Amino acid sequence: MKFSRFSIISANLLALICLAPAIAFSQPERPNRAQLNLTEAQKQQMQSLRESTRTQVNTILTVAQKTQLESAIKSGTRPRAGMQALNLSEDQKSKIRAIRESEKTRRQALLTPEQRQQVEKLRANRPNLNLSEDQKQKMQAIRQNTRQKISAILTPEEKAQFDQAKGQSKDQNKNEQGRRRGDRNMASLNLTEDQKAQIKTIRDTSKKEVASILTPTQLQELQKMREQRGNRQDK
């Protein structure tokens, strides 16, 4: 069984809102590689660059922070959100920013002049909510609350199946950007109509809570994000 398109887009939208305005030391956003027409060699170089960056960032974290981050990711938290919860020192933030800036410079060096122009065009057209710190915290709280409520609806077997599918999907699609693995895995659980109805209600409520936090301008940008995501899913 599959969720309705509305439910899937709502969930994706909520995740996008929570993660798009990541703090400065988090991983920089990258344009969709399919739009850049990268060669296989460029894709491999990009992947090597990302792995190198992760390794460098990992050396800056304490043992406790590494454990906390690994635990968060295993529980379903996205890496960016996990990084934000680490309570990094200013020195750590500064070092990670420098690593990310170096990655950005090296990534741009891998692109052709035409591809760089396409990157700038995509960035210029990318919606930006410009959330305040207070809004970011509220978004994160909504997201965590939504996860907990949905998790409570699943049976132990469904939770185990979801976790297994999530791990397999991560291994199979780790190089494919734009994938919404969580929703695909959730759709494979063969949920009952009652479960789907409850989850839709939870997501609809979360969507309304998110909307109540945003300003009119931010709501307009949110609509742009929704339209862009819908266009990508239709392709």
| Residue 185: predicted pLDDT | 63
Is 232 found in the same domain as 145? Answer: yes
Give the model confidence (pLDDT) of 144-177 as tens digits.
889 889 889 999 888 888 777 665 544 444 444 4
Residues 173 and 119 in one domain: no
Regarding whether 233 and 135 lie in a shared domain, the answer is yes
117 & 68 share domain: yes
Quick one: which H or E segment has residue 174?
none
pLDDT in tens, 73-103: 777 677 777 888 888 999 999 999 999 999 9
User: For position 74, what pLDDT does the model report?
Assistant: 76
CA distances from 32 to 130, 139, 170, 179 (A): 21, 25, 18, 11
Same structural domain for residues 154 and 123?
no
If one counts the domains in the chain, the total is 2
* pTM for this entry: 0.50
Q: Considering 127, 156, 190, which residue would you say is the last residue of a domain?
A: 127
Long-range CB pairs of 49-57 (<8 Å, 24+ gap) are 49/103, 49/106, 49/107, 49/110, 50/103, 52/103, 53/27, 53/99, 53/100, 53/103, 56/99, 57/96, 57/99
C-alpha dist (Å) from residue 1 to 167, 185, 191, 234 = 20, 11, 7, 19
Residues of the chain with pLDDT under 50: 1-30, 169-179
Domain harbouring 122, CATH code: 1.20.120
Do 150 and 170 belong to one domain? Answer: yes
Examine the fold and report which residue of 127, 151, 179 is the final residue of a domain before the chain moves on. Answer: 127
Domain end, chosen from 66, 95, 127, is at 127
Q: Which domain does 88 fall in, by range?
A: 22-127
- Which DSSP category does 29 fall into? P
Specify whether 27 is located in the same domain as 121: yes
Same domain, 229 and 144: yes
Cβ–Cβ < 8 Å for 190, 1: yes
Same structural domain, 65 and 97: yes
